[in-house]
Structure 1
Amino acid sequence: MDYQNIFNRDFFPTPREVIEMMMQGEPLTDAVVLEPSAGRGDIVRYCKEQGARCVKACEINDTLRAALYNECYVVAADFLTVSREQVADVTHIIMNPPFSDVARHILHAWDIAPDGCTIIALCPSSRFLYSYSEIEKLGEIVELYGAREELGNVFNIESADRRTNANISVIRLYKPSEKSEDFEDLQFDETPEGWEDMGTGEAGLIKYDAMRDMVKRYNSALAQFDAVQAASERINEDIRTFSACRISFGAHGKDRNGNQFANLTRERFRKELQHAAWGNVFRLLKMERYTTSVLKEKLARFVETSEAKPFNLRNIYLVVSAVVQNIGNIMEECVVKAFDTICSLSADNSTAGEKWKTNSNYMVNQKFIVDGLQTEVETYGGHLHYTFYCDETRRSQINDFYKAMLFLCGKIDDENIYDRFKEDVVKQCKDFGVWYQFDWFRVKFFKKGTMHFEFTDINVWYRFNQTAARHKGWSIGSVSQCKARKVWRDIK
């Protein structure tokens, strides 16, 4: 079949021989694999044959994606919209990305890959002959964290359904693994209902009855799913007698990210229900102020990797207690991630897109710049009105940073707003190029999409750098030494 006339220019099914060259015997037994551009599922089926415990996939073509629902768990249509939380349990990302946008796809894989993840990706060798920001950044990551191997024109073999003379490389990347406090070491209760006697909850964070009701509804939903699924299987068995009938029964719906499910399994249903249930727990406990992307990723990894840990009262108590005891560490992780984001935009960093001298690689300056600002312009009464917002990646990063800094400064209040930075800062800024003052910093926005931040409190600025430095094993000197070196300046 001539797929070239049917699908877009990036559709190159991966021949079995090429997959084997990519993998070089990489063990996949019990692995959780993500295939970001699954196409017709060649890599998906290979991974399942090699013993992968779970294969997840993305595919932007509607027809091809529909066929994948029976092969694997479809995470999303567009891989570039996938977040770290959605793939928190993935051990391998194996990809034949669209060649027209290959660097962006591999870089996104690197950004969302969990710590310790292995990334194996095909890439046209010719891309490394050019010099532009994304390929430079990819080249540096390959040099630091992996290797690139030339395979030759492997898509010009007889078994290839679509051929090209382009020389192909395989990139292998290994994401460093850092120790992180998760929930694996907790001694979970394995009974279906959990504690029957936890007191009245009158003096606690939440009324006991509300939590107990949620647990009962969760277990009831699972029991009813089993009954409906069993009935569906019996109906489908009878329907098969009538070959002309194209109706079939089974669970369908959308996951928490709006992606369509088809032929939903009990295990996937349980996990989706638990994701939603844990969100309810943190809302009921009024803990949104601590619900950063770091915590969401930890919870997602726990739900995806736990082998049917019962959602019961005792286990809720164990997880919430572990979160409360580790809030400081979770917020400090957000500070370190913010530090790394700011430093990645330093003029000294060869992988930066636009490079700013305000941003430092060793200690974040009093003033720093980040990109990702977007605006909408409307006219009211003959005057322009600007609405500011951040792209999804920057929004999450800056919101985590802002929440963490509020926590470190002891400024957390009782309002339960998840998007704290948007509510406190973005909505308060009304125009471009104007400084707006907040608790410990000021900020101004520019039309080209940059946000300029400046610490106005030396103690907060120092605490931010000190926290990041401690995690990285650096020494930055005292506040007085920083002032003496003129690292800090008074705001005019």
Structure 2
Amino acid sequence: MTDPYQYYPTPEALSRKAWAMFKNTRFVRILEPSAGEGHLLKAKPSDHYQRLSIDCIEIDIRKHAVLRDEGYAVIGMDFLQFQSGSVYSHIIMNPPFADGAKHVLKAWEILFDGEIVAILNAETVRNPFSKERQLLLRLIERHGEVEYLPEMFAGEDAERKTPVEVALVWLNKTSTFEQDILGSILDDLRQDRREADDLAGEFQLPNELALPNAFIDNAVLMFNAAVEAARQAVISEARASRYRAMLGKTLGELSGGGISSEDESSSDAVKRTLFKRYHDLKNRAWTCILRSTQVTSRLSSAAQKRLESDFETVKSLEFAVPNIYGFLQGIIDQQGEIQLSMVCDVFDLITRYVSDNAVFYMGWKSNDKHRTLGMRIKTTRFILPGHGSSSYQKGLNWESERLLADFDKVFALLDGKTEADVSLVSVFRQHFHALRVGQRIGGSYFDVRYYPGVGTIHFFPKSKILIDRMNRWVGRQRRWLPPVDMQAGKGFWQQFEQAEAFDKAFHTEVNKKCKRDGRAIRFDPFWAIKHGGESEREKGHDLLTQAMSTVLASRGIDPDAVLENEQSSLLEWAGPLPSSTDLALAS
């Protein structure tokens, strides 16, 4: 099988030689642009006082988890598309041998001031037949050195052996930093007296930029403009700091009454400041994408929180169009899992606080030991507490509106749509006074009544089909219903469909089994299965299962009967979530 990435892990001996090539051992920030699984980084020098800051780029996404487990930040996939190299003081690399010259030239292009060590095929340097190789050779002659090492990939420490000779290339790029900072002092001198308006010059806020219409392109262009503005600002601040130092200390500093600030105009200080501001801008830019309507309009609040929990990994990537589309494509690829989680979140919200919102049925008999009851939401009405409001309020609070928005997103999803035609949020915003005085008002999927005094919202589903669809999807996810490739008998589906009709008899039977014994506290199995410890949950499930078995037996229903030849008319909706609900995030 061919290896499209030309992956040859760097042997330990070669890694040590590569790190030893660096002349400046003051590592501000290090980049490994073809990191693989981090073999080249294992020989990094140990710093007992400060952990080295190392960023990685790796084109094979399957290796990203390995790098992150080692504590490295993965900031991108394609180094040849990477632009943000000015924050690094050192670049160490073992690029694909076929493109070695191209990778080293890219590193030289993006580096502001620092050193490069690269492991190349010796033929790349010895046989400069292409313009890229010729340019690399000139760089080595003017700014570096090379050492040829035979059979470094043929030793015992080489995971993937090859007899190729390597060239260990070292380059030192020195910026015109001092000249850029100082400029021409005489040319820059101006008269002492200047008004504040003169100092501001022609500065104005960039309120409107002529950017393309595409949201992602706009975001990247804005980010790049912000990075360039930050770079110019840091250089200007460093220049001002150098001028200030040339003027000398204040009287307070000379007399010991003031603290002299450290030199903010050194190359290392500028790199640290650049990285800090670049990191802040990148954080803001990724947050902009994460919170954009393309994402949030399709996700429930709980799904959004789960996505944000992975944000530390996301924001380490370079903010570039390919990475953004890759991030959004990742969400699209996981849409089935995300959508199912959203449905389960709303189901749990409905069943969590008010026990009367759901009814029970006998769960699928996967095995006797772990058999439990399943739950399904009532198709007639359910109640959610915790939404009180004062007489002076003109609407619900933000948390309550977010819950209503989650309901609309999930039921639109179940309905094969991207959004509700008449949302619950709009119902409460437009008819809040009418709802407060007891009117029943409808949205796309629910009629609602609001009781502000006790803080409850009563939901009356308009479509039993959508409630049933939710119940079946959650039931299958929780293994209360049989898997797709298995069929249950008519008795099982009968008790599932008629669970609301059996509910009163079921609770009566539970009360019989939980009758108070003297002064002992009555055991509540419904509380136990949700909030109790392991033994309490097991006891609660056993008691409820026994009660349900008694109720079903009294009606001649056997949920475990073998499937009859005659198919039940109560067939399960077993298809995938509607395709029209795809999370079209990257539009």
TM-score, shorter chain, exceeding 0.5: no
How does the TM-score come out when normalised to structure 1? 0.44
- Where is the helix percentage greater, Structure 1 or Structure 2? 2
Structure having the larger proportion of residues in strand: 1
